[in-house]
Amino acid sequence: MLKFRLPRLAYNFISSVGAAIAIVAGLMVVTMLFVSIFTKIENPYLGIFSFMILPAILIFGLILIPIGMLRQWRKEKRGEKVEQTRWPYVDLNIRAHRNAFFIFIFGTFFFVVLTAVGSYQTFHFSESVEFCGTTCHSVMEPEHTAYQNSPHARVACVECHVGPGAGWYTKSKLSGAYQVYATLLNKYPRPIPTPIESLRPARETCEQCHWPAKFFGGMQKKIDHYMYDDSNSYHPINMLIKVGGGKRGANQATGIHWHISSDVKVEYIARDEQREDIPWVRYTNLETGEVTVYHDEDDPMTQEKIDSLEPRVMDCVDCHNRPSHIYNPPDRAIDNALNTQMINPAIPEVKMVAVEAMAEEYSTDEEAMEKIRQHINGFYKENYPELYEQEKGLIEQAIQTTREKFSLNIFPHMKVRWDVYPDHIGHFYFKGCMRCHEGNHSSDDGQTISHSCNSCHIILAQGSGETYEVTYQEEGLEFKHPVDIYEAWREMGCYECHTGTQP
């Protein structure tokens, strides 16, 4: 009867360990395959874990086998005394061997299954929103809170921050290891900086759902604004946003998303890390090869500096830089509360008072909650004593809503406020579009980047009551500032006055 034997050099400790690792990893791969098939788990990382990480461990075990054999061979060549390691044998005719054999087989099977499933569940949890947002609660509380109240609240964190594929998965885990270290040793900055340098290209994440080539036409947007006067006057603006996009060859490459049309390339260089100051822009028509370079006339960048920096190709996040982690300024947060009747607009001066209370800088959440109550109560006790006595319920509701808006947008322990994270959409509170479209970027041949309001939007209606205006003409209405500031609005950016608090 033939007996199965391995090469003599394979009988050593290192090779035995390698064989054990390879066998266990192989069993886990098979188990994970069954888990993915029969549990119907849909996760972009299941394949990475099952067919990349575990096979790597299996290969490591297999590599140990020849390493152990080589080590054994070298010992023999040096004439060292080498004890022949004998493999254990099992004789099922011996009761003790038989019992141990079945205990080992069934125990190993359940151990491998439980380990595989447990490992996957641990891995799956590490990719969940709960893990990202609550494990390091005090650190990630601002991001997690803002995310839960954002348009992407049903999109898992990893879908944008990691995406599919092994390369970015590995990169995110290596980055995460440092973040754990920084959290444990309290070495993280406050506020947490936006990781714009390490973000995955938007075409590999955003464009999995948002497809620029299919952006056509316009989108109506109504901005509800309340004034800082005694009656909290309502002054909405109803606009048609020229979303645009598409492809020039289809005669649709117009509007805002023209910037990332498939047949053009827009590049820029920024002076600062938050990409607020852009002195250099280059436009390339990919169909004709035409190239136009624009410089900031007021504060140009030297050619030596330009040559030393790498231009960034414009993509989604250059405008949509706060798609999920949105921290509304007090002005907008209170406008939303007034518009939804969470704060009654009939309370005199409540817009001004609530914004002042919310915008004040506090050292802790507890201090903020107490000072907001004191500020609002104190104002109405002093200035509207009769109203305060008669409408305590409405004033209390205003206090609670202002507190809630504060808790959703401002986090003292992490020094997170709306003004530390500029939002590049629009140009009301931050420079945004005006980083390039302020009218001072021109080329050598005299071309200027458009400063026309109607390039991106037209006003369909504005104001209310006696100031209400509406049009059905394609050119829209000319903007009228609700407070008479003469022609200053033509010469200045909105963001220069509107800082998110009372102007």
Question: Tell me: the pLDDT tens digits for 281-305?
Answer: 999 988 889 999 999 999 999 999 9
- In this structure, are 313 and 235 located in the same domain? yes
Over the stretch 103-135, which tens digit does the pLDDT of each residue have?
767 766 766 666 666 566 666 666 667 667 666
Residues 469 and 486 in one domain: yes
Tens of pLDDT, residue by residue, the chain (503 residues):
445 556 666 677 787 888 888 888 777 777 776 766 666 555 545 655 665 677 778 788 888 888 887 887 777 777 776 655 555 566 777 776 677 677 767 766 766 666 666 566 666 666 667 667 666 656 888 988 998 899 898 888 888 887 766 666 667 766 666 777 777 777 888 888 887 667 777 878 888 888 776 777 788 999 999 999 999 999 999 999 988 765 655 545 567 888 888 788 999 999 998 899 999 999 998 888 999 999 999 999 999 999 999 999 998 889 999 988 999 999 999 999 999 999 999 999 999 999 999 999 999 999 999 999 999 999 999 999 999 999 999 999 999 999 999 999 999 999 999 999 999 998 999 999 999 999 899 999 999 998 888 888 999 999 998 889 999 888 899 999 988 888 888 888 888 889 998 76
357 and 399 together in one domain: yes
pLDDT at residue 44, rounded to an integer: 46
Q: What is the tally of structural domains in the chain?
A: 4
Q: What domain range is 381 assigned to?
A: 330-420
The DSSP 8-state label assigned to residue 411 in this structure reads B
Between CA 409 and CA 145 the distance in angstroms is 8
- Are residue 243 and residue 312 in the same domain, yes or no? yes
45 and 19 in one domain?
yes
CB atoms within 10 A of CB 50: 20
- Show the DSSP H helices in 360-423 as ranges: 365-383, 385-390, 392-409
> 95 and 13 share a domain?
yes
Alpha carbons 261 and 125: distance in angstroms, whole number: 38
Over the stretch 379-415, which tens digit does the pLDDT of each residue have?
A: 999 999 999 999 999 999 999 999 999 999 999 999 9
Q: Do 489 and 470 share a structural domain?
A: yes
- Co-location of 293 and 381 in the same domain: no
Which of 418, 402, 395 has its CA nearest to residue 499? 418
- Strand (E) or helix (H) holding 461: strand 457-462
In a domain, 404, yes or no: yes
- Are residues 157 and 291 both part of a single domain? no
Q: Which residues of 415-436 are buried (b: 16+ CB within 10 A; e: fewer)?
A: ebbbeebbbbbbbbbbbbbbbb
The residue assigned the tokens 């152990």 is: 68
Q: Of 76, 95, 126, which marks where a domain is finished?
A: 126
Give the β-pairing of 441-442 and 280-285: unpaired
Asked if residue 27 and residue 116 are part of one domain, the reply reads yes
